[in-house]
Amino acid sequence: MSYVRPAFRHPESKTNAEGFTRQDYEGALSTLCAGCGHDSVSSGIVDACFELGVWPHRVAKISGIGCSSKTPTYFLGKSHGFNSVHGRMPSVATGANMANGEMAYIGISGDGDSASIGLGQFGHVARRNLNMVYIVENNGCYGLTKGQDSATTDVGSKSKKGDPNPFEAIDLCAMALQLGATFVARSFSGDKEQLVPLIKAAMTHNGFAFIDVISPCVTFNNTPASSKGYEFVRDHIEATGKMDFVPVRSEITANYEPGFTKEITLHYGSVIHLYKDDKLDCTDRGSAMRAIQEHNDKGRILTGLLYVDPDSKDFHKVQQTVKQPLRDLDEEDLCPGARALNAINGSLR
């Protein structure tokens, strides 16, 4: 078994606008099962960060417990990381974000981590609109503990163990929409053409950006009768339409495809181009919820960007807390002096 990746890369590999190679965004060699969907998500994150040109040291990866939550070791090896307690990634991410609002936060979780033990935390971080990317690598089972059904397992779906699941599934996208998340998408680990632009858009969004990525567990839940296996997902998947992410920088070169039908400008000036004019209006929460429901009723899995609020106000803005890293606040900021204190006291009288 190989423990290290060879050092050589393609001799024609390019660097990004910030001078980094793709290799600068890689992590340690994965120890997940061969063929696990989670590894593809990691690779998608590497691609997205490379293409966006983020600075690795300006990113923090935070996760809970599970095979999915192990993955931050396998990407962005030069970034910050915190592998927290089962289901508690949102609290740690919230704390970190409060202390330093200028970093990019990528939360990685699993369906067990978010929809079972961490459901409460998930709900609250969504409604607070914390500025972070929240990815659930959803395999419909507890992979790490050997494949028990999870809260996102569909009714009747059968894992390797073979018993049909009797319970109703939680749809995390629907829940996120209902709880006020300002960016909601669903994707599939086996479709990087869709996943990578979604991650890029999510990283550029100002607020809580949630992506539910169906990510098959090859070892315990990739049977023909499982609704989260490669084959089933490929047979039942439907996309909201092709999406392009156009970062601020490339407006100048304008090398994106023409012919888009909708353009959404994000907070910092990057743009999302949507190419299909179907019934879904991604800027309308109700439309997104209906689309999910309609596809569910037909037994189809709707993927792609479901909802985005380009004018979203993140937690700092709502709370009027400082986005600036707390460590950078100097004495003058922290102790505004007797006059300021008197003014506050005066206002309370």
Partner 1 sequence: MKPTNIKDPEYFHKVVDCQYACPAHTPVPEYIRLIASQRYTDAYMVNWESNVFPGVLGRTCDRPCEPACRRGRVEEEPVAICRLKRVAADNKEDVTGLLPAAGKSNGKKIALVGAGPASLTVARDLAPLGYELHIYDENAHGGGFMRSQIPSFRLPEEVLDEEVGYITDNGNVTTHYKQRVDSLKSLLGKDYDAVFVGSGAPRGRDLPGLPGRDEGAESIHIGIDWLASVAFEHRSKVGKKVIVLGGGNTAMDCCRTARRIGGADVKVIVRSPFADMKASPWEKDDAVAEDIPIIDNHVPLEFVIEEGKLVGMRFDRVKAEYDDKGKRSLISTGEEPAFYPCDEVLVAIGQENSFPWIERDIDIEFDKWDLPRLDAATFQSTNPKVFFGGDAAFGPENIITAVAQAHQAAISIDLFCRGEKLDSRPAPNVNLVSQKMGIHEWSYDNAVCDDQRYLVPHAEKSAALKDRKLEVELGFSTETGFEEAQRCLNCDVQTVFTDNLCIECDACVDICPTECINFIENGAEADLRGRLRMPANNSEQDLYVSGKLPTGRIMAKDENVCLHCGLCAERCPTSAWDMQKFLYQVSKASLIPGLPE
Site string for partner 1, 81-110 (x = CB under 8 A): ------------------------------
Q: Is 32 in the site for ligand TPP (CB under 6 A)?
A: no
Cβ-contact 102, 325 below 8 angstroms? yes
Nearer CB in complex with ligand SF4: 172/305:
172
To the nearest whole angstrom, how small is the minimum distance from the Cβ of residue 87 to ligand SF4? 17
Cβ-contact 245, 268 below 8 angstroms? no
- Residue 115 DSSP symbol: I
As beta bridge partners, residue 148 has: 142
To the nearest whole angstrom, how small is the minimum distance from the Cβ of residue 136 to Mg ion? 8
To the nearest whole angstrom, how small is the minimum distance from the Cβ of residue 110 to ligand SF4? 8
Q: Is 70 in the site for partner 1 (CB under 8 A)?
A: no
State the Cα–Cα distance between residues 80 and 58, nearest whole angstrom: 8
Choose among 135, 111, 176, 126: nearest CA to 307: 176
Choose among 162, 142, 161, 158: nearest CA to 150: 142
Q: Is 224 in the site for partner 1 (CB under 8 A)?
A: no
Q: Hey, which residues between 131 and 150 contact ligand SF4 (CB under 6 A)?
A: 139, 143-144
Q: Hey, which residues between 205 and 224 contact ligand SF4 (CB under 6 A)?
A: 217-220
To the nearest whole angstrom, how small is the minimum distance from the Cβ of residue 114 to ligand TPP? 7
Classified as helix, coil or strand, 320 is: coil
Among 92, 93, 144, 151, binds ligand TPP (CB under 6 A): 144
Joined tokens for residue 250? 């490339």
Q: Is 228 in the site for partner 1 (CB under 8 A)?
A: no
State the Cα–Cα distance between residues 266 and 131, nearest whole angstrom: 13
Q: Is 309 in the site for ligand TPP (CB under 6 A)?
A: no
Choose among 74, 61, 167: nearest CA to 115: 167
As beta bridge partners, residue 106 has: 61, 133
Among 80, 86, 124, 262, binds ligand TPP (CB under 6 A): 86
Among 105, 142, 210, 260, binds ligand TPP (CB under 6 A): 142
In the block, residue with structure tokens 């061969």: 34
Q: How many residues contact ligand SF4, by CB under 6 A?
A: 12
Among 66, 72, 207, 247, binds ligand TPP (CB under 6 A): 66
Backbone phi and psi for residue 289, each to the nearest 5 degrees, phi listed first: -65, -40
Backbone phi and psi for residue 136, each to the nearest 5 degrees, phi listed first: -100, 120
Q: Which residues bind ligand SF4 (CB under 6 A)?
A: 32-33, 36, 38, 67, 139, 143-144, 217-220
Q: Which residues bind ligand TPP (CB under 6 A)?
A: 65-68, 86, 110-113, 117, 137, 139, 141-145, 150, 217
